[in-house]
Structure 1
Amino acid sequence: MDKEDIPRSEVPPAPYHVLKRYRGIGGGVGRLYEVRNDKTGNAALVLMPGPKGELRPQEDWEVRLTSHVAPPYLALEVERAPVDGQPQQLAWMLDRWATALVRIEERPEAQAHLAAGAQKPPPPPETGHRSFVGTVAMAALLALGVTPGPSSTPEPISPTAPPALAVDKQMPPVQLLTDAVQAIALPMPQGPFKGQNRPPCKSKHEVVIRGGCWVEIASRPPCGDDAFEHEGKCYMPGYSAPRPPQALNP
């Protein structure tokens, strides 16, 4: 698969720099990426829609959340809100994040990423001005029949610009393309997810596989991004009624 074949809508946009994608988090959440903000250096997470088109915000919000130990308080600070913004849209966003964070709360790599703090942002990209001027100067000298010596040769500077998808040094672009291909074949995990129904299963449509309750779906492999393959069939993890949002720190 060529890089151009990956829809830009499936990966976090700038200024987010992709580090990795969390897989095996169960269906109904979307694509969860571990990223870093290239402008601030802050560690961050980004949720993107899955192949079935879930995760469709209806309003643009920017908020800052604070948890303080002494004195004890929680703060939600709105940095940007839409005109006539609806609080239920803000509640919907927070509920989706609560669901996603519960799915990765026991993953050491998620804890390490979020607790690492900000890193120094990368230097701003060079503009193409010096390179353009150097090229024009060289062309003028050659037109006059003058061959510049080593000391007079302008040093060209290749302009760089932040790509729409910046990939961490430890994860080459080919790895991202491989991940996109593997997204259609999620293997069945060795055990149930946190919060997944366990025997005795609560629904007659659920079957027990590797200690968890699973619901077989009509699709056949490749199962897509939000289902898991097992012995030639596709399954979704069985969950009870959605759990209410939970705080990260009890």
Structure 2
Amino acid sequence: MADEKTWKGGRLGPFHISKRYKNVAVDLGRLYEAENIRTGAPALLLMPGAHANWEPEDSWLVRVSAQTEPPFISMEVEQAPSSGQLSKLSDMLDLLTSTVERLEKNEEARAHLTGGPVGTWKRWVGRTRRLLRSRGWLVVAGLAVTLSAVIWSRVSQDPEGPRGEQRAGAGVGELATSEDKAPDMVDLTRSGATAIAYPLPAKPFSDQAKAPCYPKSGEVEINGGCWVELAKRPPCYERQAEYQGKCYMPVSARSHQQGEPRSLQP
């Protein structure tokens, strides 16, 4: 029999207790509305009292089901003690039957048991409300404040933060990239320019045309350099630059030295 003096509600086994049916089945014990924490399935939970004249001796796990077509009723035993006695199982089922009989005309119990499993969202909202009603929210709030203070302390010591380190590291790589020459160029002053897969660099190549670019000639500005978008889509060919799902070729700086080109020859 459950200890009525120490248990104060909340979680019990795989169930969470939502409310007690007062003045119902008091001769049998304390009757609660509950739900399975893992599945959200509605349930009833009886904590037998002294007048129930029943004390659990073994742990059983059974599932009862009924079907209308074809009509049958079944009981599945999912867990049973190796030395279990059917008389104990019968006593348990008799107690549950008596409990349900006390609720036959209780509309709240009917709505609870026939409402189906509680959805994930409703379960989350219910648990949040229960947490706020308890002292547990103070612990959660304290942890959140402490974590925020630690993060703020680190950010205030390093204004740039992790991004600053990334930018600093990236700057060295970008400088080296900008000093490398492009594997090939689009020279808008020549006809028959050859097509050029490498990631599009963060800065223009040293021999690449730089902004401002000539959009009327098909040039686009990316990372300060002038590029020509190709009809080819990734995977790009070996000597083409790939950027945001498109293939590009850099524009030669010589084309800008001779003025705005008229067109790009195929």
What TM-score comes out, normalization by structure 1 length? 0.47
Larger Rg: 2
Higher helix share: 2
Q: Which has the higher contact order (CA 8 A, sep 6+)?
A: 1
What TM-score comes out, normalization by structure 2 length? 0.44
